[in-house]
């Protein structure tokens, strides 16, 4: 009985040694031989993980390209204005639906400091830390931008311009309008000129969101 136990222990030790040697690999990216690999690589398909080829989806990938002209749930408001390839002149027709009260301007300042200050500087003069390295950052206090409409600034924030990348996916439409009001009222000193918002125009801008979505994405009402 003792001999069988000894033989069993020897066999177990030998098996463990062989498995350890085989499992080890000199390749830095090779995880080696896994014990019970199905515990690590679940057979179910996970969108953000690809352990093996997907035998069902086209392209053999778990992640799939969204269908054309579709908008993610909860993201409709992100596409409520003119397309990015339209002329900036058309952005002049956009109306800011927000009123530049104290709360809106304070929130606009916070958003500006978070997303814009590193390039345009605290005072909007194009002298931020990034602007000092990458030339071409706009001076928001220049005469050209002082006369630019709020729709123009909103459109540039949304879709970018020149070396400035678009921020439409990072900021909601309301957040972009708040930054626009902060730039106009506080940095450019427009004051009362930018505080009054035509309520009728704001209503029209809000009611036309659906039409603009259809124009920008190609969606049509099929009912």
The residue ranges of every structural domain in the chain are: 76-203
pLDDT at 36 over 70: yes
- Give the Cα separation of 176 and 125 in Å (integer): 19
Question: How confident is the model over 62-91, as a mean pLDDT?
Answer: 73
- Give the Cα separation of 46 and 40 in Å (integer): 13
**CA 52 to chain CA centroid, nearest Å:** 28
**201 phi, psi to nearest 5 deg:** -65, -40
Helical spans, DSSP H, in 41-190: 102-115, 117-120, 143-146, 150-159, 173-182
Sorting pLDDT into bands at 50, 70 and 90, what band is 150? very high
Question: How confident is the model over 78-93, as a mean pLDDT?
Answer: 70
- Looking at residue 112, its pLDDT comes to 97
Sorting pLDDT into bands at 50, 70 and 90, what band is 174? very high
Closest among 6, 32, 8, 29 to 20, alpha carbons compared: 32
**19 phi, psi to nearest 5 deg:** -65, -40
pLDDT at 207 over 60: no
Closest among 162, 173, 94, 111 to 134, alpha carbons compared: 162
The structure tokens listed for 103 are: 């709360």
The structure tokens listed for 132 are: 């000092």
CA-based torsion, 148, 154, 159, 161: positive or negative: positive
- Looking at residue 105, its pLDDT comes to 95
pLDDT tens per residue across span 112-125 = 999 999 999 999 99
Sorting pLDDT into bands at 50, 70 and 90, what band is 201? very low
Question: How confident is the model over 46-72, as a mean pLDDT?
Answer: 81
- What kind of fold does domain 76-203 have according to CATH? Cytochrome Bc1 Complex; Chain D, domain 2 (1.10.760)
- Looking at residue 200, its pLDDT comes to 42
Question: Which residues make Cβ contacts (< 8 Å) with residue 77, sequence separation at least 6?
Answer: 172, 173, 209
Sorting pLDDT into bands at 50, 70 and 90, what band is 208? very low
Is residue 179 within 8 A of residue 171, CB to CB? The reply is: yes
Residue of 129 and 25 predicted with greater confidence: 129
- Looking at residue 62, its pLDDT comes to 85
- Give the Cα separation of 60 and 186 in Å (integer): 53
- Looking at residue 19, its pLDDT comes to 59
Q: Under the phi-then-psi rule, with left for phi > 0, alpha for psi from -120 to 50, and beta for the rest, what region is 52?
A: beta
Listed ranges 53-62, 136-145, 175-184; the one with the highest mean pLDDT: 175-184
């Amino acid at each position: 009985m003792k001999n069988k136990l000894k033989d069993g222990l020897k066999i177990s030790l030998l098996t463990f040694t062989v498995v350890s040697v085989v499992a080890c690999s000199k390749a830095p990216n090779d995880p080696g031989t896994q014990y019970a690999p199905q515990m690590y690589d679940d057979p179910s398909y996970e969108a953000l993980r690809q352990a093996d080829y997907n035998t069902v989806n086209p392209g053999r990938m778990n992640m799939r390209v969204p269908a054309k002209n579709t908008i993610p749930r909860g993201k409709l408001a992100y596409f409520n204005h003119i397309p990015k390839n339209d002329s900036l002149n058309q952005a002049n027709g956009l109306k800011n639906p927000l009123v530049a009260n104290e709360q809106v301007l304070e929130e606009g300042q916070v958003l500006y400091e978070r997303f814009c200050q590193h390039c345009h500087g605290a005072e909007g003069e194009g002298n931020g830390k990034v602007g000092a390295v990458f030339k071409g950052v706009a001076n928001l206090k220049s005469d050209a931008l002082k006369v630019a409409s709020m729709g123009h600034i909103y459109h540039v924030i949304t879709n970018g311009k020149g070396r400035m990348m678009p921020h439409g996916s990072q900021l909601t439409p309301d957040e972009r309008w708040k930054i626009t009001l902060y730039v106009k009222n506080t940095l450019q000193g427009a004051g009362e000129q930018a505080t009054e918002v035509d309520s009728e125009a704001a209503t029209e801008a809000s009611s036309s969101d659906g039409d603009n979505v259809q124009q920008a994405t190609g969606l049509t009402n099929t009912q």
